[in-house]
Structure 1
Amino acid sequence: MKAILTVIGKDKVGIIAHVSQELMAENINILDVSQTIMGTNFTMMMMIDLAGVSSSFSEVQEKLNGLGEKLAVKISVQREEIFNTMHKL
């Protein structure tokens, strides 16, 4: 299953490293990534593949939400099909 992960918050050292490390720990593959810094704001969007994950989707969401709280950023994960449906014109 593919999903879209977004990270939004104030820029600081280590956001990408911490998120990538958590994904690696969960055996989640990063398929594509885009990130930018606008002033002091950090934004990142990743397409990820959860095919190798043994945890449930909700468990992955909970872990990433917890990481977001530690980093003081908002981390969201949505299944690709839901993300695409929500963003159709």
Structure 2
Amino acid sequence: MKIVVTIVGQDRVGIIAMVSTILAENNINILNINQNILDGFFNMVMIADMTFSKMALKDLQQFLKEKGKAIGLDIKVQHEGIFQSMHQI
């Protein structure tokens, strides 16, 4: 299953490292990363494959949400199909 991870907040050292480490520890493969930083504001969209992960999507969503909140970031994880449906014109 492919997922979309979005991260928004103030830029700081280690955002990508934190998220990619959590994904790697849970056998989730990063397929694509797109990030922008504008006036200190960090925005990233990551596509990942969690086919071989033993962690449930719901658990990953909660875990990353809490990790992000602890450092002032909004981190959301969605099933790719839901993300695409929400962003169709």
Distance in 2 separating the partners of 1:76 and 1:68: 9
The TM-score, its normalising length taken from structure 1, stands at: 0.96
Aligned to 2:21: 21
Aligned to 2:82: 82
Quote the offset at 1:74 in angstroms: 0.4
Which runs of 4 or more aligned residues in structure 1 lie more than 3 Å from their structure 2 counterparts after TM superposition?
Answer: none
Structure 1 residues without counterparts, runs of 5 or longer: none
Quote the offset at 1:20 in angstroms: 0.7
Distance in 2 separating the partners of 1:69 and 1:82: 23
3-state DSSP of counterpart to 2:13: coil
3-state DSSP of counterpart to 1:13: coil
Structure 2 residues without counterparts, runs of 5 or longer: none
Quote the offset at 1:70 in angstroms: 2.2
Distance in 1 separating the partners of 2:47 and 2:71: 20
**One-letter amino acid matched to 1:5:** V
3-state DSSP of counterpart to 1:12: coil
Distance in 2 separating the partners of 1:24 and 1:31: 12
Distance in 2 separating the partners of 1:12 and 1:59: 25
3-state DSSP of counterpart to 2:46: strand
Distance in 1 separating the partners of 2:15 and 2:85: 28
Distance in 2 separating the partners of 1:39 and 1:16: 18
Distance in 2 separating the partners of 1:55 and 1:17: 19
3-state DSSP of counterpart to 2:88: coil
- Contact 1:4–1:48 (CA<8 Å) still a contact in 2? yes
Count of aligned positions: 89
Q: Is 1:68 aligned to 2:68, yes or no?
A: yes
- Contact 1:15–1:71 (CA<8 Å) still a contact in 2? no
